[in-house]
Amino acid sequence: MTRYAIVGGGPKEYIPNLSTYKNEDIIWIGADQGAEVIVEYGLPLSAAIGDFDSVSASSMETIKKEAHELMVYPNEKNETDLELAILYAQEQEARHILFFGVTGGRMDHTLINIQTLYPLWNSGIRAQIHDLQNQMELFGQGSHTIGRNEDYPYLSFVPITLDIWNLNLYGFYYPLEDAHLPYGSTLCISNHLIEEEGTFSFSQGILLVIRSKDII
């Protein structure tokens, strides 16, 4: 399945090395300064979307040359540049979206960008946020398998809804069985797998699963 990658205008130092994705079947979409990042990595810029208020005139000229599609919007608008990029990906019938450049910097931007995972998940689109230190994805009730990732060894389970019921963790250093995880609980922070694969399941609620690593 072709994946779509949306690169936002967040601080560049929070973006992982996108060169590692060069040989993958990915359609790259730049939201505002994210288009500049895609060009800097030498990746194909399928679409550049936004008001581009964070881009210099010279960089904008490069974006115009490199973008297969260019959509320029006014500064004053109801949607953020990221939301416009998401809407474009949905129009292309994307079923799996990777997000880069959507964390770090202003906390209001980071929080709302994480929240954009919910409407995508709710519409059946798999969506993941990747940054230099974290990978994030929403999961609904049921049973899920997760594999070991040495690059992001820590696993945290954060309740998005008020309650997570009957949470089970198998194959983890800290296992759980039929646990109740209320909103705000730190019970499931900083776990890790002791098997090559683990399973987690729950009967009600929505979890934000975060893979993370320390920066040394």
45-75 pLDDT, tens per residue? 999 999 998 899 999 999 999 999 999 999 8
Tens of pLDDT, residue by residue over 75-118, are 888 889 999 999 999 999 999 999 999 999 999 999 999 999 99
Q: The domain that contains 154 carries what CATH number?
A: 3.40.50.10240
The per-residue pLDDT for 101 is 97
Residues 100 and 163 occupy one common structural domain? no
User: Tokens at residue 26, please?
Assistant: 């990915």
Q: Which domain holds residue 167?
A: 136-212
The per-residue pLDDT for 14 is 96
Residue that has been written with the tokens 């060894």 in this structure: 153
Tens of pLDDT, residue by residue over 157-195, are 999 999 999 999 999 999 999 999 999 999 999 999 999
Helix or strand run (H / E) with residue 38: helix 33-40
Residue 199 has pLDDT above 80, yes or no: yes
Residues 40 and 70 occupy one common structural domain? yes
What share of the chain has pLDDT > 70, as a percent?
100
Distance between CA atoms of residues 66 and 39, nearest Å: 7
Furthest-apart CA atoms within the chain: distance in Å: 57
Residues 172 and 112 occupy one common structural domain? no
Number of domains in the chain: 2
Residues 32 and 52 occupy one common structural domain? yes
Q: Which residues contact 51 (CB under 8 A, 6 or more apart)?
A: 32, 72, 73, 74, 75, 77, 81
The per-residue pLDDT for 1 is 77
Q: Nearest 5°: phi and psi at 38?
A: -60, -45
Q: Which of 82, 109, 132 is the last residue of a domain?
A: 132
Residues 206 and 180 occupy one common structural domain? yes
For residue 160, the Cα-to-chain-centroid distance in whole angstroms is 15
Residues 118 and 178 occupy one common structural domain? no
Residue 216 has pLDDT above 80, yes or no: no
Residues 77 and 154 occupy one common structural domain? no
Residues 8 and 115 occupy one common structural domain? yes
Residues 155 and 197 occupy one common structural domain? yes
Q: Which of 132, 150, 183 is the last residue of a domain?
A: 132
Quick check: pTM over 0.85? Answer: yes
The per-residue pLDDT for 195 is 96
- The bridge status of strand 3-7 relative to strand 26-31 is parallel
Q: Which of 111, 132, 153 is the last residue of a domain?
A: 132
Residues 12 and 104 occupy one common structural domain? yes
Tens of pLDDT, residue by residue over 146-156, are 999 999 999 99
Residues 75 and 152 occupy one common structural domain? no
Residues 141 and 126 occupy one common structural domain? no
